[in-house]
Amino acid sequence: MKPNIYLIIISLNVILCTNLVAQSDVMGNVRAALKAGSSKELTKYFNEMVELNLNGDKSSYSKTQAEFVLKDFFKSHPPADFQYIHQGASKGNLLKYAIGKYTYSSGSFRVLILFKNSEGNYYADSIDFTKE
């Protein structure tokens, strides 16, 4: 008995669409965590090691360390808003990036987030906050 070609095509489309939705959810969840100032939620989407640049102070941290560093940052700069300005990807989609604006009561930061593909999932690999 021949497999139904339509069933195979539909199954492949469902698998591909589910993967794309999951990947875009990572970027959406990172945006929501930044907007809420939730270091705990944000670190769920980090690689095991992440590079943070907080206005010129650049270091690599484990997920646990990064959570505490970001908790202090959000405490000093409580978010009023965070929105993506631009998003893109490298050829082959190994890297994705997002540029956004993090607004707090007395100013704003330009934020660059790099997402790396690891085993089919994207994780935030570096976040750069630059005061505007």
The domain containing residue 24 runs over which residues? Answer: 5-131
pLDDT at 105 over 80: yes
What six digits make up the tokens of 18? Answer: 């589910």
Question: Which residues 6+ apart lie within 8 Å of 15 measured at CB?
Answer: none
How many structural domains is the chain composed of?
1
Per-residue pLDDT band at 119 (split at 50, 70, 90):
confident
Which residue shows structure tokens 């945006």? Answer: 31
> Model-level pTM greater than 0.95?
no
The pLDDT mean for the chain works out to: 86
Query: What is the CATH number for 36?
Result: 3.10.450.50
Residue 35 pLDDT = 96
Each residue's pLDDT tens digit, 50-84: 999 998 899 999 999 999 999 999 999 999 999 99
pLDDT at 10 over 60: no
